[in-house]
Amino acid sequence: MRYISTRGTAPILDFDAVTLAGLASDGGLYVPETWPHLAPVEITAMAGLSYVETAVRVCLPFVGTALTEAELRDLLATAYGSFDHAAVTPLVQLDQRHWLLELFHGPTLAFKDVAMQALGLLFENFLGRSGKAVTIIGATSGDTGSAAINALAGRDRVEVFMLHPRGRVSDVQRRQMTTVLAPNIHNIAVEGNFDDAQALVKAMFNDPDFSGRFNLSAVNSINWARLMLQIVYYFYAAVRLGAPHRPISFAVPTGNFGDVFAGYVARQMGLPIDRLIVATNSNDILHRALSAGDYSAGQVTPTDSPSMDIQVSSNFERLLFDLGGRDGAATAAAMRGFEKTKAMAIPADQRAAAAAIFDSARVDADSMARTIRWARDKCGQIIDPHTAVGLAAARASAGDTPVVTLATAHPAKFPDAVERAGGLRPVLPQRAQGLFDREERYATMAADLTTVEAYIAARAQPSA
Ligand SMILES: *Cc1c(COP(=O)(O)O)cnc(C)c1O
């Protein structure tokens, strides 16, 4: 499989190069040149397969010749061996129509582990072959950072610099990052919000002096391999509920549009997904874009679902590119305009194409809290605020198609917010205990490019 940039001019890459590259050199995001297709008989044949075996079938066409099927199977079995549930991503039925897909059984209690545990192994494999070292620079609203740090701590040839907005991640999230003391892990608390941290990362990638000195890479959801690994659970869940013979909808608590884009890809690959419900908190740029064509970034409002406190959703560019007929020059022009004005009107044809697939909803704090109580009182489930945003949108959706809400975090990752909303304080599962007894290590600095670059330059491995 070959990968092309959404902005049309970056070099075409294979799977191993695209995994290590992250952002494309023209500022765009990599996507497969074509969507692989699984026929209904192939989807039917997934019934009863293990998670790992499902993942092999979904990922193989994207991986191409970068790994043999046996190598891929081995790698996935190792990655998902660290999960505390044999089904990896178990389904829980809430009522006649609603289901939760629990994506938080990995080591850091959020769905990011599902992709990151495998991505860490892909990095190690591809770097070992090439003999190169990489410097990973990322911005996190909490969960990406902890998942990446857990997956990459102590790995050879990888130096990780993770920026988080100071004071805007939960204590559990921060400690999952800052208590990892492996020498290749560097945490930076930035004075600012997530978008400030993200803007710094983008600026470092776009600074030719700086990026020329280091072999920079990214592990946020602009990384194609992460999205590929997230496509798997859409197939896994839908097949368990009767796909391809019964259409299923998914409600996805959304921030950077990575997780829900993986659902879009599953649908492009032939999985009969009826609706993809994009659920946002009060940071609702995606809801405004999909419902009114208004893709304009406002100020970030802090909420109880901090991993969705995002105004600029990087992966939305992948959707616009695909829905707009895969015209790299047009996408580049549109995104350059957006970067200048922080606003863009979605063209009518792309809006119509999106409306055929996506619904969207903005879920405010009250509705989120009511949904936590509903799940507790009616279903005996303690859910986290991100999941509650998704479930609120699912319950507000029309029709009677079964809806799977992606449960993106364990409630114990956000105990204060869950307690405020529902009165029950979730306890940390066994695999995360001890977090509050460990030493923390991180640097704090202003959201200033020169300062952050100097800090990283003093610690990163220069490219050969
Ligand atoms: C990252 C995250 C999200 C948002 O996922 P995107 O891929 O950025 O849309 C939602 N919930 C939780 C718990 C997360 O960690």
Give the model's confidence band at 220: pLDDT under 50 very low, under 70 low, under 90 confident, else very high.
Answer: confident
Give me the helices (H) in 380-435, please. Answer: 385-396, 415-422
Residues 180-196: tens digit of each pLDDT = 999 999 999 999 988 89
Asked whether residue 202 carries a pLDDT value surpassing 90, the answer given is no
Residue labelled with tokens 């074509």: 34
3-class DSSP state of 336: helix
What strands lie across the sheet with 443-446, from one edge to the other? 216-217, 134-139, 158-165, 185-191, 443-446
Using one digit for the tens of pLDDT, what is the confidence trace for 86-101? 999 999 999 999 999 9
Give me the mean pLDDT over the 163-168 stretch: 93
Helix (H, G, I), strand (E, B) or coil at 176: helix
Q: Is the pLDDT of residue 464 over 70?
A: no
The total number of residues shown for the chain amounts to 464
Query: What is the per-residue pLDDT for 241?
Result: 97
Q: Please tell me what DSSP assigns to residue 82.
A: T
Q: Does the annotation count 112 as an active-site position? A: yes
Mean pLDDT of 430-458: 94
CB of 190 closer than 6 A to ligand 1? no
Residues 280-323: tens digit of each pLDDT: 999 999 999 999 999 999 888 989 998 898 888 889 999 999 99
Percentage of residues in the chain having pLDDT higher than 90: 83
How far apart are the CA of 260 and the centre of ligand 1, in A?
9
pLDDT band at 118 (very low <50, low <70, confident <90, very high): very high
Contacts of 60-69 with CB under 8 Å at 24 or more apart are: 61/1, 61/36, 62/1, 62/15, 62/32, 62/36, 62/228, 63/1, 63/15, 64/1, 64/2, 64/14, 64/15, 65/14, 66/14, 66/15, 66/16, 66/19, 66/126, 67/15, 67/125
Rounded distance between C-alpha atoms, residue 439 and residue 177, angstroms: 11
Is the bond preceding 61 in cis, omega lying within 30 degrees of 0?
no
Pocket test for ligand 1, best of 29, 221, 259 (most atoms within 8 A of CB): 259
Q: Is there an atom of ligand 1 within 6 Å of 110 CB?
A: yes
Span from the CA of 314 to the centroid of ligand 1 (angstroms): 12
* Domains, the chain, ordered by start: 85-111+224-422 (3.40.50.1100)
| 36-61 average pLDDT score | 98
Q: What pLDDT is stored for residue 105 in this prediction? A: 97
